[in-house]
Amino acid sequence: MKKLKLVDYYILIPYLVLSFFGIVMVYSSSANVALSTGTTAGAYLIKQTAYVIVGLVLAFGFYYLKLSVLRSGRIVEYMTFGIFFLVVTVLIVGSRVNGAKGWINLGPINIQPEEFLKLFIVLFLAHYMDSHQQALSERFWTTMWQPLLMLLVLMLLIFIQPDTGGFVIDGFIVLIMILASGNRRGLPMTIVGGLFLLYVGMLVTLSHIDVTHSFLAHSYQLQRFVAFADPFGTVKTVGRQLVNSYYAISNGGLFGVGLGNSIQKMGYLPEPNTDFILAVTSEELGVVTVLGVLFFLGMLAFRAVRLGNRATTMYESLVCYGIAALLTVQSLFNVGGVIGALPITGVTLPFVSYGGSSMLVLASCMGILMNISAREKRERQAVLNVKLAAN
């Protein structure tokens, strides 16, 4: 109970607001999805509520967990074997949805290994770089090539599902954590620049290809790039979902047409309760509410960065920066896809979109952040007490 007084409300309140807002929006946006799957919107409401409750338990479990347990070499080994098992298993027996074989079906629930991989990357890299600080300062890339190769193998297994959105998010988490470690060598920026040029080159190339008369007609992932390059030109095929997203945002205006009154969720927007839940939110509750959602997400990312700056150990600092990167990049990809600033990659909006794996991983991240915040508060209080005693 004593530790409960140290809870960081700058993390807890945005987390709770976004999670419970997500329950409302999942229920509202699931009407047509429920009809098409032969279930009810209430079923999605019950599942999402259960995910949020279990997530809360996990969050406080990680809050009370000693950080030394997470840093334990044996625990990291177990996590490594576990994530390899999940990522390989999903390729063998996984369910294919929207062209991607990314879910392990366990009856009433589905596990998405990619979501767990994001948190694993954060914890693994923080542990490894903290354990090899001296070697990193002397020979950075010689020390890092083995763990980076292992992570690359995991990421490639995600890429071939195919899950390009998850692959790119994982890559950004790795790059940001390397840069945050203080070893700012030229290679990370070279990789980022190369990815950016590759990205632009693909867009330029794909924008000149007719999707209906090429091999791309059979590639769900590459069709998304075509839709991004020319949504209105492909409105009858692959550009339909992005154009309908525009319609939803336009219909909603500043304050929306009212909760539950979205037109685009009724069979026009694909995945209205996951990938495009922000478009449904905009149509029903307006751009003002969307800005509020983005404010709370930004607040969490900013708090994570601030905790990383204040942290007294490299491990805690890197964990905070890694979680901030996860939240920021995933949010940007989802928002960018909804408004047409980025290709649609099937990335969900943190805390708001329907999904158990994502909710459990994000809740765990919040618990870890609150744990680090409580530790930092105790250390500051101890220093203050020493100063007061000295005076």
Per-residue pLDDT of the chain (391 residues; tens, 9 = 90+): 677 888 999 999 999 999 999 999 999 988 777 777 667 778 889 999 999 999 999 999 999 999 899 888 899 999 999 999 999 998 888 777 766 778 888 877 788 999 999 999 999 999 999 988 888 877 877 888 899 899 989 998 988 887 878 888 898 898 888 888 776 554 554 455 446 545 544 544 444 344 344 444 444 455 555 555 545 555 555 556 777 888 888 888 899 999 988 888 887 787 888 888 999 999 999 999 999 999 999 999 999 999 999 988 999 999 999 999 999 999 998 998 888 877 777 789 999 999 899 999 999 999 999 999 999 888 887 777 777 777 6
The secondary structure of residue 240, as a DSSP letter, is H
pLDDT at res. 194: 46
Predicted pLDDT at 218: 43
Closest C-alpha among 274, 339, 358 to residue 33: 274
pLDDT for res 42? 81
- Specify the pLDDT at position 391: 67
**Cβ of 228: how many Cβ atoms within 10 Å?**
23
Instruction: Specify the 3-state DSSP secondary structure of 116.
Output: helix
CB 88 within 8 A of CB 149: no
Provide the pLDDT for residue 205: 42
* 161 contacts 101 by C-beta, under 8 angstroms: yes
8 A C-beta contact, residue 186 and residue 342: no
Spacing of C-alpha 174 from chain mean position: 14
pLDDT of residue 185: 53
Q: Where are the domains of the chain?
A: 3-390
Residue 221 CA: distances (Å) to CA of 34, 165, 170, 305, 343: 25, 10, 17, 32, 10
Cα dihedral: 140, 137, 171, 86 (round 10): 80
Pairwise CA distance, residues 175 & 372, whole Å: 22
The pLDDT of residue 380 is: 80
Q: Which residue, chain included where needed, has tokens 């699931």? A: 30
pLDDT value of position 2: 77
Q: What's the confidence (pLDDT) of residue 215?
A: 40
pTM here is: 0.88
